[in-house]
A and B are shown apart, each in its own frame.
Chain A
Amino acid sequence: MRFFFLLFTFILLLNNISPALAQGTATVSGFVRSADTNEALAGATVAVPTLNIGTFTDAKGFYSFNLPKGNHTIQASYIGFESGSKDITVTGDKLTLNFTLETNSSQLQEVVVEANTLQQKLNDTRMSVERLSTVEAKLLPALFGEVDLVKTLQLKPGVQSGGEGASGLYVRGGGPDQNLVMLDDAVVYNASHLFGFFSVFNPDAVKSVELYKGGFPAQYGGRLSSVLEVDMNKGNYDSLSATGGIGLISSRLTFEGPIVKDKASFLISGRRTYFDIFTRQLNRINEGNKDYNPIPDYYFYDLNTKIYYKLGEKDELSLTGYYGRDFFGFNDSNFSFGFDWGNSIGSLVWSHKFSNRFFASTSLTSTGYRYNVTNSISDFTFKLTSSIQDFTLKTDFDLLLSKGHNLKFGALATKHAFTIGQFNFDAGDNQDMSFNSGNNYKATEFGAYVSDDFRVNPLLSVNYGLRLSAFDSGDKTYTALEPRAAAKYSLSQTMSLKASYASMMQYIHLVSSSGASLPTDVWYPSTSYVKPQRSQQVAAGVSKLFANGKLLFTNEVYYKWMKRQIDFRDGANLFVNDSLENEFLFGEGESYGNEIYLEKIKGRTTGWLGYTLSWSYRQFDEINDGRRFPTRYDRRHDISLVVLHQLSKRISLTGAFVYGTGNAYSLPVARFAFQDVEGRNTSVIPIYSDRNSFRLAAYHRLDLGLVLKLRPKHGEADLTFNLYNTYNRRNPYFVYFSQIESEADDLTLGFEAKQVSLFPSIPSITYNFKF
């Protein structure tokens, strides 16, 4: 807190000496949109390169900043689009200037952005932000050819995956439950399909993702380690079009078009896997074969919809919907087992422009996650359900003041409803033996914030803010102040220093003993016993432009403290337990590291090189005899190299290489024989020592991709070839100890360690089309 107040005092002092710098300025504001679809482009750069002044558009494509009066050239650029440039003469106090950017004709060119994007990144007060568009992600090689923006983010420094093929994000030593994932303002509680191997975001429905690893702006709260904003496509309100892809595992189809030309558009996008179609055929062929074990059904699907309506020059309305389900089932004549899980999300956003200086966005969202396990045998039925359901009302204001201040303020209120481990045993005719268990909780979460993005002088800009958060669980109310601050100082036109501080609170917690993202993980509220988690993070960095602005080098160091971290007792029963709180353990965490990032986004060859050196620890009095232990995803070295090369107008080549220190892992060091009461099957019981004291072998992999643009009679099409794990590296997924048994008499001859890998070299091909 002392740090924040010192910074706040410093800023006030600066505020008093700065008015002279703001004399004779005007406010320039407007929207940046796609010329093709008229869709707002969030995160587009709008800048006056000669003055080194500029900003990014917000989620609605709106920008606003102050300019000295006079003649200027303003440029707008956005990844995958041609840059737009306008010469203006500023005479009055305000000026509205909208940009419509044309899509680049060649696909690879779509990722080529003008160098001033790097310049603007250098000049931005924000730090620790990673942005990725679907256009980029679609070029990069992917497992089974399934493009996944979240997994592509794992190639950025400071972002790690939980394991082979997993889509969970571990950001700067935080757990996968500490990420605030939002789809068009609505929280997504479980962002993965298939036990974490795919994210829930259909690439055809998503425009871009933006990940904050630190330096969180004050408008974000509720999670400790990251904010992932997923921006959905709005739909083309100029003409009707269809986009789709046919892959090895799934197919997807998207329709978009105008409802009212130039005013209202729609988008509907669906995706479904088809493992189950093959496995059912296989089961049918083997019907009657006693040696054959039928393969259970598995599939997932998701459906995205969006309706956008431009009410007038000042008002926009958008309605977003998402519904996705995974389903795993097995039936035979004796029993019926079903396991399904998924999110359902709805979001209504109204954007209003009061003036060129004052902009507001209000949203009403509903989001829910639920899993159901059912098992029926004869008259008996077991059902286990857990869920979380939220309703949120949120409003954000953006006010551009004179003297270089850009004020943001807003508030939100969320009603949470939790169903935790609702177990129902229905004994059919024997109703006296039926029983239920589980808990229901209701809670309300509040947040209010104010922040100021202040350009102190051409060299120094600061962003400081304060968030007030509160959580009422019925039996206990928590409140907290979460100060945020960031500063940027330009040492020269090509070099800047940045620093940030963020304090974050997390009031809801994921009950998960696995360390992986599983569908059975449930969210649990803070109560009088389970106190909210808290983190503080400081980061500092330097950015330097090289090679005439073609290369941007960034180095950031960070340190993060985490209080009241949650784990569970050994052998905790997390599923059917009316006293779940008794299984919780509370401890502390810390993580720190250095991230180096070199990126090139102009020319025929683009890409990036990232290197992260990091440490991540937890300490619980009741785990590991109270000694600090590394987290499973504590990764000392992490390297990623991504290269995209345009070979010709029709062919682009891509490659991604990753290397990471092996995950920390617990292994037994000793064993004992347990005969049990009967003695017939003596068990070997492992004895574990220190938590996560072993390391799996290093993980490394090279993926290659080729995108070949076809020349169909109508529309566009391409074939994407991928080779995952090119040199067939057997990366470790986990290690276990097994017995070496004599083939003759099953006698145990000894013990050995086995390493299991998941994915060998996997080629894939995907056909994508648009018409």
Chain B
Amino acid sequence: MKLSTLLYLCSLLLMVSCDMDKTIDIDLPPHTPQLVVECYLEQGKPFRATVLETSSYFDAPTPPLVPDAEVHISYNGQRVKLQYNPTFNEKQSKGFTHSSNKIMRGQPGDVYSIEVTDGKGRKVTGYTTVLPKVPIDSVKWQFNENDKALLLTYFKDNPNTANYYRYMTHRDSVRNGSNREFTLTDNLNNGKQIVIGSNYNYESGDTVVVSLFHLEKKYYDFLRSADDAEDANGNPFAQPSRVISTVEGGIGVFTNLVYDRRTVIIAR
């Protein structure tokens, strides 16, 4: 939790105000939609992307599809076209608008690029460089006197590069959605062994899936800025910030997912 958010929550708790919200009318200026791209390349998985548009804030909450959008992913001299084929996975609550059967088999250092164009002349481009996996050294836990356990995840940072991480935990299975996640950098503990702790949230017998993603800086910036923008809506102490995209010509993210994952069963 950010300090500004913490302060905000503190002050709200202390205020005696009650039910002091009301709905108001606000006239927003006309908005010209921009393309929004979300595409994650993952080792051994097919190329899939989601291309939508931004919406004026009070527009109807229907997905702003862009049927005439064309998506191409290029790497090692190959250019692959992703077909427009909107699909939605109910179980994962996740959809894609464009996909291909091509399987991603990149090695660290490989560069992939994306190009999205549409009938309105809009064009979004971006590239991603495959990063090496950062292995989780170990996952440990400690019980307190109430039979609750905290989780400790250890890994070693590479001192020769600036590194950005995303940490996630899932209960039982990754299909259940993460119950905890955050991003971090190594700027305070470069090259050291890093430990990520938790609160006493676990009990004996719990199955926990721990994932450590190694992120590109621009993906880290995107996640942080998206989080900041979301936080600024409704927090009077936060300064509004713009989303820093990893792509140019529109909004969104094009990156590759490299992660190490451990599954542990908590036991005394």
Contact = CB atoms under 8 A, between A and B. Distances in A.
Nearest to B25: A753
A194 B14 contact: yes
A753 B24 contact: yes
A527 to B, nearest CB: 20
A296 interface: yes
B93 A571 contact: no
Given A335-B199, A377-B197, A513-B4, A674 B38 contact: yes
Interface string B4-45: 101100110111110011111110110101001010100000
A295 B13 contact: yes
Output the residue of B54, B150, B197, B233 with the most chain A CB within 10 A: B233
Interface in B134-152: 142, 144-146, 148, 150
Contact of A674 (B23, B144, B226): B226
Contact of B24 (A576, A691, A749, A755): A755
Interface string A407-433: 000000000000000010001001011
Contacts of B33: 670
Contacts of A579: 187
Contacts of A677: 40, 257
A516 B20 contact: no
Contacts of A753: 23-26
Contacts of B146: 333-334
A668 B57 contact: yes
B11 to A, nearest CB: 5
Contacts of B144: 333-334, 378
Interface residues of B, number: 83
A575 B61 contact: no
Contacts of A296: 10, 13
A734 B26 CA distance: 13
In the complex, which range does the number of interface residues on chain A fall in? 35 or more
Contacts of B15: 758
A619 B151 CA distance: 47
B52 to A, nearest CB: 6
Given A666-B240, A672-B52, A760-B17, A679 B93 contact: yes
Nearest to B188: A437
Given A515-B239, A570-B241, A680-B94, A432 B192 contact: yes
Nearest to A696: B24
B150 A378 contact: yes
B183 to A, nearest CB: 11
A686 B61 contact: no
Interface stretch (A92-100, A224-232, A735-743): A735-743
B16 to A, nearest CB: 8
A529 interface: no
Output the residue of A519, A686, A756 with the most chain B CB within 10 A: A686
B264 interface: no
B251 interface: yes
B189 interface: yes
Contacts of A432: 192-193
B26 A670 contact: no
Nearest to A567: B239
B57 A751 contact: yes
B177 interface: yes
A675 B95 CA distance: 8
Contacts of A682: 93
Nearest to A683: B230
Nearest to B252: A672
A679 B138 CA distance: 28
A754 to B, nearest CB: 5
A578 to B, nearest CB: 7
Contacts of B239: 513-515, 568, 570
Contacts of B194: 433
Nearest to A514: B237
B18 to A, nearest CB: 8
A515 B237 CA distance: 7
Nearest to A731: B20
A771 interface: no
Interface in A360-413: 373, 377-380
Contact of A430 (B28, B145, B195): B195
A478 interface: no
B77 interface: no
B86 interface: no
B200 interface: yes
A686 B233 contact: yes
B70 interface: no
B162 to A, nearest CB: 12
Interface string A666-706: 11111111110111111111111101001001000000000
B109 interface: no
B234 interface: yes
B242 A570 contact: yes
B225 interface: yes
A745 interface: no
A568 B240 CA distance: 11
A686 B236 contact: no
A296 B6 CA distance: 12
Interface in A2-42: none
A576 to B, nearest CB: 7
Nearest to A694: B26
A529 B16 CA distance: 44
A325 B74 CA distance: 60
A194 B16 CA distance: 13
Contacts of B142: 378-379
A518 to B, nearest CB: 6
B26 A685 contact: no
A688 B57 CA distance: 10
Contacts of B203: none
A288 interface: no
A671 B54 contact: yes
A568 B252 CA distance: 23
The 9 closest A-B pairs by CB, nearest first: A679-B94, A736-B234, A570-B241, A734-B236, A680-B177, A666-B240, A757-B20, A514-B237, A334-B200
Interface of B: 3-4, 6-7, 10-11, 13-17, 20-26, 28-29, 31, 33, 36, 38, 40, 50, 52-61, 63, 89, 92-95, 142, 144-146, 148, 150, 174, 177-178, 187-189, 192-195, 197, 199-200, 221, 224-226, 228-230, 232-234, 236-244, 251-252, 257
Given A668-B233, A733-B20, 13 more contacts: A194-B11, A334-B148, A578-B188, A673-B63, A675-B38, A677-B40, A678-B177, A680-B93, A684-B230, A686-B57, A689-B29, A750-B58, A757-B17
14 contacts: A518-B4, A668-B240, A669-B57, A670-B33, A671-B57, A672-B54, A673-B52, A683-B226, A685-B229, A738-B234, A753-B24, A754-B21, A755-B22, A760-B17
